[in-house]
A = this chain, B = another copy of it.
Amino acid sequence: MATIYDVARHADVSAATVSRVLNGRGSVDPTLTERVLAAVAELGYRRNAVARNLRKQQTSLWAVIISDVQNPFFTSMVRGIEDVASAAGCSVVLCNSDENPEKESKYIGVALSEQMAGVIISPSSDRTEDFNLLPDSGCPVVMVDRQVKGVRCDSVLVDNEHGAEEATTHLIEQGYERIACITGPRRLSTAAQRLRGYRNAFKAAGRPVDESLIRAADFREHGGHDAMAALLDAAGPAPDAVFVANNLMTVGAMECLAERGRVIPDDIALVGFDEIPWADLVRPSITTVEQPTYEEGRAAAELLAHRIANPDRALTQQTLKTTLRVRASSTRPTPLSP
A277 contacts chain B at the CB level, 8 A cutoff: yes
B94 touches A92 (CB 8 A): yes
Complex Cα–Cα for A69 and B73 (A) = 11
CA of A47 to CA of B115, assembled, Å: 10
Contact of A46 with B109 in the complex, beta carbons under 8 Å: yes
A263 at the binding interface (Cβ < 8 Å): no
Bound-state CA distance A54–B86 (Å) is 24
User: A114 on the interface (CB 8 Å rule)?
Assistant: yes
* Interface status of A82 (Cβ within 8 A of chain B): yes
Q: Are A277 and B49 in contact (CB under 8 A)?
A: no
The complex places the Cα of A48 from the Cα of B138 at a distance, in Å, of 14
What mask results when residues 66 to 100 of chain A are scored 1 for a CB within 8 Å of chain B, else 0?
00011010011011001000100001111110000
| Bound CA span A152–B21, Å | 34
**Copies of the chain in the assembly:** 2
A109 to B199, CA, bound (A): 53
A109 / chain B contacts, CB cutoff of 8 Å: 46
CA distance A115 to B107 in the complex (A): 20
Interface residue ranges of A38-56 to B (CB < 8 Å): 46-51, 53-54
Report 21 cross-chain contacts, Cβ distance below 8 Å, ordered by A residue: A47-B113, A49-B115, A51-B54, A61-B93, A61-B114, A64-B94, A70-B75, A70-B76, A78-B94, A82-B94, A86-B103, A91-B93, A91-B95, A92-B93, A92-B94, A93-B94, A254-B281, A258-B280, A276-B278, A276-B281, A281-B283
Q: 18 new A-B pairs (CB below 8 Å) besides A61-B114, A70-B72, A91-B95?
A: A48-B54, A48-B113, A49-B115, A50-B50, A50-B54, A51-B54, A69-B75, A69-B78, A69-B82, A70-B76, A78-B94, A82-B96, A91-B114, A92-B94, A251-B278, A254-B281, A276-B281, A282-B283
Q: Which residues of A contact B (CB under 8 A)?
A: 1, 46-51, 53-54, 59, 61, 64, 69-70, 72, 75-76, 78-79, 82, 86, 91-96, 103, 107, 109-110, 112-115, 137-138, 251, 254-255, 258, 276-278, 280-283
9 A-B pairs with least C-beta separation: A283-B283, A94-B94, A49-B113, A49-B114, A281-B282, A50-B54, A50-B53, A70-B75, A93-B93
